[in-house]
Amino acid sequence: MAARFPSSVLFCCDHNSVRSPIAEGYMKKFYGQRAYVQSAGVRNDREIDGFSIAVSAEEGVVLDQHRARSFDEMIDWGDDLSGFDLIVALSPASQRHALELTRFAHIEVEYWPIMDPSGLGESRDAKLEAYRQTREQIKAHLLDRFGAPKEE
């Protein structure tokens, strides 16, 4: 059975360019306005990954306007971590960082072990397949954690 549905969720990974934007996009697609959803990375040293944009667009999730941001930028821009009910870390580094930032706050931090597809595959088709696997892992975790998507 799915756990309580949070009112706000922050997805995080290493760079906010692959896994966390996909998770943010699918959370918004599946659950609409049920929760405030954002994403961030431990670092912001990359733009949104083109393969992430492509595999999400295959299913109608638009990521090409996503701007990668770090935890530090998020806080600088006024998004207080204490305003989130749930932080979902999609990489070990982001889990450590989230736990460190929330050590004095009562915010639930979950870790979902999601494959990092960047750097995998030799050909364009092989790279797309790796990104699709990551997309499917994220979707499975969303459905397991939050239940069936909203009715359209």
Q: What is the pLDDT of residues 7-29, one digit of tens each?
A: 999 999 999 999 999 999 999 99
User: pLDDT tens digits, residue range 42-67?
Assistant: 988 778 889 999 999 999 999 999 99
Residue with tokens 């638009």: 62
Rg (CA), the chain: 15
Give the pLDDT band (50/70/90) at residue 80. Answer: confident
Q: Please state which architecture CATH assigns to domain 8-146.
A: 3-Layer(aba) Sandwich (3.40)
Nearest alpha carbon to residue 70 among 42, 49, 90, 47: 42
- The one-letter amino acid at 150: K
First to last CA, the chain: 22
DSSP letter (8 states) at residue 44: -
Residue 15: C-alpha distances to residues 3, 88, 147, 149 (Å): 28, 14, 27, 27
